[in-house]
Chains A and B, each alone.
Chain A
Amino acid sequence: GQNIDQPTEMTATEGAIVQINCTYQTSGFNGLFWYQQHAGEAPTFLSYNVLDGLEEKGRFSSFLSRSKGYSYLLLKELQMKDSASYLCAVRDWDNYGQNFVFGPGTRLSVLP
């Protein structure tokens, strides 16, 4: 199984940069995903990392270090619409098959 941890809440200012961290403990690691979820809506896919390093996609970037069991999501030029929960999810394999488990999520509030 997995043990995934994220900060519960974060606050940042419009136009700023924020980094949301995710730590995990698992065996059979097979990828880490970041999802954005606005209140009452479905999670939407943001990024995927399976190898170490940084993946950049517009204003959003995601980093992975497999040896440290660590990832972060970096949001640049924050906008009010970025206020949402950000979910880190880890995919791994065990004797029973594939698992895909969400972390507790980080609620980000962007202030004017």
Chain B
Amino acid sequence: DTEVTQTPKHLVMGMTNKKSLKCEQHMGHRAMYWYKQKAKKPPELMFVYSYEKLSINESVPSRFSPECPNSSLLNLHLHALQPEDSALYLCASSQDEQGSNYGYTFGSGTRLTVV
């Protein structure tokens, strides 16, 4: 299995809703990442988990809450989002935080719309 799987693929939520994005990989990678990508912009790093511990939080608002239940799973809990949070949310993984010759493997993303 050489994939990163993200669910759901599309999500529409109200500003008072609570939802979660899920990411799963079975490549034995020990580092996992959340990126946010707006249209026609490059992905921007949000969080890094290394060996199931949060190692980087790029000053992301608390309405985004990551969770790493085990080495294969990464969640992003969403609460009280704003319309400007609408974006493509990408999950990625790598062998470890030092990376490898292949950089990161990305999931296909969750297209989030906040109404």
The minimal Cβ–Cβ distance linking A34 to chain B, given in whole angstroms, is 9
CB pair A40–B45 under 8 Å, yes or no, is no
The 3 closest A-B pairs by CB, nearest first: A102-B42, A42-B106, A33-B103
Interface string of B28-49 (1 = CB under 8 A from A): 0000000000001111110000
Residues of B within 8 A of A (CB): 4, 40-45, 55-56, 88, 90, 97-99, 101-109, 111
* Size bracket of the A interface: 20 to 34
Q: B103 and A101: CB pair below 8 A?
A: no
Given contacts A97-B56, A100-B45, A101-B45, are A42 and B99 in contact (CB under 8 A)?
Answer: no
CB-contacts of A82-106 with B (<8 A) = 87, 89, 91, 96-98, 100-105
